[in-house]
Amino acid sequence: MGKLTRVRLLNVQYASNLERNIISYGLLEVKGYGLAYRGSNRVIAAIDGGPAIFDVEKSNNVLTVRTLGSRSTKGTSDVLMSVLAENEAAVEQDMQTGPLMHFHRRLGHLNHDTIIRMTKNPASGIALTDDVRANCLVCAQGKQTKNKQSRKGTGGNSSIDVIGGVICSGLQGPMTPRDRLGNRYMVNFVDHRTNYCRVFLTKTKDVAALKFKHFMAFFERQFNCRIHVLRTGGGGEYKTLDLFCKDTGIARQVSDPRNQASNGKAGRMHRIIMNMVRSMVFACGLPLSFWGDAAEYAAYILNRSPTKANPGSKSPLQMLTKNTADLSDIVVFGSPCTVRVDAKNKSPGERGKPGMIVGKSDEIKGYRVYIPRDKVVVVTQHVSNVETLSDVQNEQLKRVHLDD
């Protein structure tokens, strides 16, 4: 104590206009050092109980260390070692925090690595309090696979490097049971460049393919692009689109039925979505007839989640809009909640009903909420008391919709 110690700091940045040197306490902890006490003296020492590296003093609620720079004749340099509690409280107020498994359930049982990557970006609005990867029985039930699917790229001779250059589509069904609206088929449309996906539910196979017109109108106007190629399987249901594609100048590509990899992106997206659907429905205890709501919610989540298929692991929406998607409005599928009832001001009747959140989508503002008592699904922003969120997170959720 009190002796001069030579300390070499690595990975430093030079700021010419900064009068005082600043050391990050967080990086010291990463290196295995932290604040300790040796008698009445504060010191920086190895966390495992090793020897002290240098003494620390406290001045105006800021930890400082006296230094003699090897290339400078300046006097004492103050070293910032902590963040004021007021600043921490302000950051925590706007950031939703929770353990890894909480957000795993909340984000439709998304894989752990993707959740950890997205929480590293402060703009996501969520942060982890731990990264414990507990075994998830629901994932084992809903995502069990027979073997790995091929990830071979199949667009080498087409405009896959352009947004809208190639749209892959696949049809799945008939599903058993039907969803709550009587739908048995699900068709998806995936942009090859950004991995943006939309799913549509229909009662018959021939109507499913015609949903491409709805997707085209939404995608081209929403993201200011043009669709060049539509790639589909060889099913006869897509033949109804041939004339439409010719009239609109869209090239048609039909995959080889003997080679699943030729339209593998659409097939893999179906598998990912259905894995999430099974996990979400199994976890909340709703009837299997809610698989359609879960599928649309899964696509909503995936479009806002980072993916290794995109440069820099960006989310599909970030590729399209250049902005990081805010995830703070996503809640656990099937979350019990209360919904405001639109009643006359003079009515003595109830103002809220218990419900269960069954999704969001790109085309609605608010949540889809199932009211078990009335056996109906309503769309509303007036959702509160979400049981899978803390009191703080419920208040943050209200502010999100207030800002919208």
User: Which of 24-33's residues contact partners 24+ apart within 8 Å by CB, and which partners?
Assistant: 25/63, 25/80, 25/81, 25/82
Mean pLDDT value of segment 94-98: 82
Burial class of residue 77 (count of CB atoms within 10 Å of its CB; 0-12, 13-18, 19+): middle
Burial class of residue 22 (count of CB atoms within 10 Å of its CB; 0-12, 13-18, 19+): middle
Euclidean distance between CA atoms 355 and 292, whole angstroms: 18
Euclidean distance between CA atoms 368 and 362, whole angstroms: 12
Least confident piece of the model among 219-223, 294-298, 364-368: 364-368
Q: What's residue 404's pLDDT?
A: 55
Q: What's residue 10's pLDDT?
A: 72
What is the tens place of the pLDDT at every residue in 127-137?
898 988 988 88
Least confident piece of the model among 123-127, 258-262, 288-292: 258-262
Euclidean distance between CA atoms 108 and 272, whole angstroms: 11
Q: What's residue 125's pLDDT?
A: 84
Q: What's residue 28's pLDDT?
A: 79
Euclidean distance between CA atoms 255 and 154, whole angstroms: 10
Euclidean distance between CA atoms 8 and 29, whole angstroms: 16
Euclidean distance between CA atoms 125 and 268, whole angstroms: 29
Cβ pair 226, 112 in contact under 8 A: no
What is the tens place of the pLDDT at every residue in 330-341?
999 999 999 887
Burial class of residue 102 (count of CB atoms within 10 Å of its CB; 0-12, 13-18, 19+): buried
Q: What's residue 281's pLDDT?
A: 95
Mean pLDDT value of segment 288-312: 94
Mean pLDDT value of segment 336-359: 77
Mean pLDDT value of segment 351-368: 84
Euclidean distance between CA atoms 34 and 10, whole angstroms: 17
Mean pLDDT value of segment 341-368: 76
Q: pLDDT averaged over the chain?
A: 82
Question: Percent of the chain scored above 90 by pLDDT?
Answer: 38
Count of helix runs (H) and strand runs (E) in the chain: 11, 16
pLDDT at 138 over 80: yes
This prediction's pTM: 0.67
Burial class of residue 398 (count of CB atoms within 10 Å of its CB; 0-12, 13-18, 19+): middle
Strands 229-232 and 166-172: parallel
The torsion of the CA quartet 184, 189, 190, 196, rounded to 10 degrees, works out to -90
Q: What angle do CA 201, 204, 209 make, to 5 degrees?
A: 70
Reported as a pLDDT band with limits 50, 70 and 90, residue 61 is confident
What is the tens place of the pLDDT at every residue in 160-189?
778 999 999 999 989 999 999 999 999 999
Reported as a pLDDT band with limits 50, 70 and 90, residue 370 is very high
What is the Rg, in whole angstroms, of the alpha carbon atoms belonging to the chain? 27
Euclidean distance between CA atoms 158 and 228, whole angstroms: 9
Euclidean distance between CA atoms 125 and 145, whole angstroms: 32
pLDDT at 329 over 70: yes
Least confident piece of the model among 9-23, 142-156, 302-316: 142-156
Burial class of residue 370 (count of CB atoms within 10 Å of its CB; 0-12, 13-18, 19+): buried
Euclidean distance between CA atoms 209 and 236, whole angstroms: 10
Reported as a pLDDT band with limits 50, 70 and 90, residue 381 is confident
pLDDT at 149 over 80: no
- More confident of the two residues 200 and 264: 200
Reported as a pLDDT band with limits 50, 70 and 90, residue 212 is very high
Helix axes 264-284, 291-302, angle to 10 degrees: 120
Question: Percent of the chain scored above 70 by pLDDT?
Answer: 82
Domains and CATH numbers, the chain: 1-82 (no CATH), 139-302 (3.30.420.10), 336-403 (no CATH)
Euclidean distance between CA atoms 226 and 163, whole angstroms: 8
Q: What's residue 301's pLDDT?
A: 95
Cβ pair 356, 342 in contact under 8 A: no
Query: 26-65: string of b/e by CB count within 10 Å (b at 16+)?
Result: eebeeeebebbeeeeebbbbeeeeeebbbbbeeeeeebbb
